[in-house]
A = this chain, B = another copy of it.
């Protein structure tokens, strides 16, 4: 087999400990022996084995990435991109990512992810909404955690979040800049902080522009913000407030559903009713008109999550810092100025 630390020690005529100290850049070793050891390492093509290191140092060099099964399949491109962001940044910073999904109704008696049981990760990143019982179980084991695109209502954790409030304001302000005044909001599941924050951004933008908020221009009783509920919410909204001239949907899925409804009813988008979504998913480009939206840099969410995690691992303090990742307005064809055709 290949060289071990023992072989290096023998060749450099030093003790094993000395080699170890050199590897770990301990200043206790003089320059001359350091060079001698490094030479032996080079000549033998030595590289320390992860398993041996991990056994005694209790560091694995791995970071766990956990999300629920339905998040992975339902929001596939979104969380995939966050995951790829973590992968990318982890590689830079000499870590590896271990991915796993959990069932959304994780019970306190459910079996933990294998990498937790095996103590094969130094920390865990939770992506999206995850069961509270799972969080508690992992925390109880003293494993550092970082949240991305979610923060549990209870407690105070390090988290990387989309700047949803600014995004909501940005979207709404864009519609206002288009001359729209009767702006509706389509949302689902207010329990989800992201959606609630986007709604807050909507409210704040209205207020800032001295546009009175009208309760009947808001539909938020859909349980899950997907395409179908966007379709239904649009129908409800139009029944309550037939005069809306713009829609801010809490995400692109709902926006696309709403758009579909409007097209079926032969309402002119964007002239008669402009519509803007949130997230910037691939499908936005496949529809006609292409959907204006608020772009979320998903990879950046992952990158920031890794950086935050590694900072925590290196400082081993609790630092429940929140990082807000900025968003960007993407103007496409589903929004336009009201003056253009009056």
Contact = CB atoms under 8 A, between A and B. Distances in A.
A interface, by DSSP: helix, strand, loop or mixed?
mixed
A120 interface: yes
A84 B286 CA distance: 24
Contacts of A324: none
Chain copies in the assembled complex: 2
Interface of A: 2, 47-52, 54-55, 60-61, 80, 84, 87, 91, 94, 96-101, 114-115, 117-120, 141, 282, 285-286
A2 B140 CA distance: 12
Given A84-B80, A91-B101, A118 B55 contact: no
B80 A120 contact: no
Nearest to A112: B47
Given A91-B100, A94-B114, A119 B49 contact: yes
Contacts of A49: 55, 118-119
A99 B99 CA distance: 11
A303 to B, nearest CB: 15
A61 B51 CA distance: 11
16 contacts: A47-B117, A48-B118, A49-B118, A49-B119, A50-B51, A50-B115, A50-B118, A51-B51, A51-B55, A80-B80, A80-B84, A87-B99, A91-B99, A94-B114, A285-B286, A286-B286
A286 B287 CA distance: 7
- Which of A115, A117, A141 has most chain B Cβ within 10 Å? A117
A55 B49 CA distance: 9
A61 B298 CA distance: 29
